[in-house]
Amino acid sequence: MTAFLVGAPPQTITYDRRVGKYRDGATGRYVSRVSILRLVDEEAARLSTRMQSHARNLVGGGIDLQTFQKRAAEDLKLSAIRSTILGSGGRSQTTAAAYGATGRLLRDQYLFLDGFARDLAAGKLTKSQIIQRAALYGASTRSSFHAAEKIARGREGFRLAKRVLDSAAQHCGSCLRHSTNGAYIPIEQIISPGVDCLCRSRCRCRIEWKKN
């Protein structure tokens, strides 16, 4: 399966379902996990930049609140879809279940965006606070990646997984509870990073997968 990833180096990469990894189309070597997660971070950074741009247009009078909310919602959706495809192993591997999981995550983001819009309409935020708050939405795309990846791994025959804490991160109480403390457990019991935890999309935990 050939996959083109937004933000990836300008080359074709393929996805190997047998091991749940991408391959570099030029060398045939596996793309490192670090490189894939870097793509997720780059997508989050691009979304954050776009959200800040919309916010600056709003506070500068270039667009009204309704237009801001519409553009922000559209960018949230497009970014989530790209991350879902990346987590799934490419567009052709992306299932209805993965899109459905992303849809549920997006509904939460739209609710947050509605609350943001209400605060804007009420004049509760300074210009600086508006731009800073808009930037926070960039991290939301990570949750879509992790949710899609879990679904893909289950389809590929991975039956076990462990959730690992990032040693450099400040963990919320939820992440501490969701950690498997180095043990592999049934994949259906794993809580994906950014899902059902207080730090939400800012979560820096990672999942390691195992077939048996």
Higher confidence at residue 183 or residue 26? 183
User: CA geometry: angle at 156 spanning 153 and 162, to 5°?
Assistant: 35
One-letter identity of residue 3: A
pLDDT band at 117 (very low <50, low <70, confident <90, very high): very high
Kind and range of the H or E run holding 3: strand 2-3
Q: What is the pLDDT of residues 171-199, one digit of tens each?
A: 788 888 888 988 999 999 998 887 777 77
- Percent of the chain exceeding pLDDT 90 equals 70
- Percent of the chain exceeding pLDDT 70 equals 94
89/193 Cα distance (integer angstroms): 18
Please report the pLDDT score of residue 115 as a whole number. 98
Nearest to 151 by CA among 79, 207, 78: 207
Higher confidence at residue 202 or residue 133? 133
Q: What is the pLDDT of residues 123-136, one digit of tens each?
A: 999 999 999 999 99
